[in-house]
Amino acid sequence: RGEKEFHTLVSLSIGAVIAEPRTFRSHKEIAVVATESKKMAKKVRGNSLYVNQRQYPEVVFQGEASS
């Protein structure tokens, strides 16, 4: 149309979870923590990466002994 248009730059926000074996009972627990991480990343203006580094107790499943 011959008119100038302004487009904002795209930014990328990534939330990550370190899911060590035996840390979470299910994929749903990982999803909850991943959602929290994503929300933390989105609080930062521009591009951001938030890695959840909380320590979680090892999960012992019924019938298994911790070594």
Each domain of the chain, given as residue ranges in start order, spans 13-52
d(CA 23, CA 60): 9
Helices (H), the chain: 27-42
pTM over 0.85: no
Residue type, 24: F
Cβ contact 24:56 at 8 Å: yes
d(CA 58, CA 22): 6
Residue that has been written with the tokens 């795209």 in this structure? 10
Amino acid 5: pLDDT:
87
Please report, in tens digits, the pLDDT of each residue of the chain (67 residues total).
789 888 888 899 999 999 888 888 899 999 999 999 999 999 999 999 999 988 777 776 666 555 5
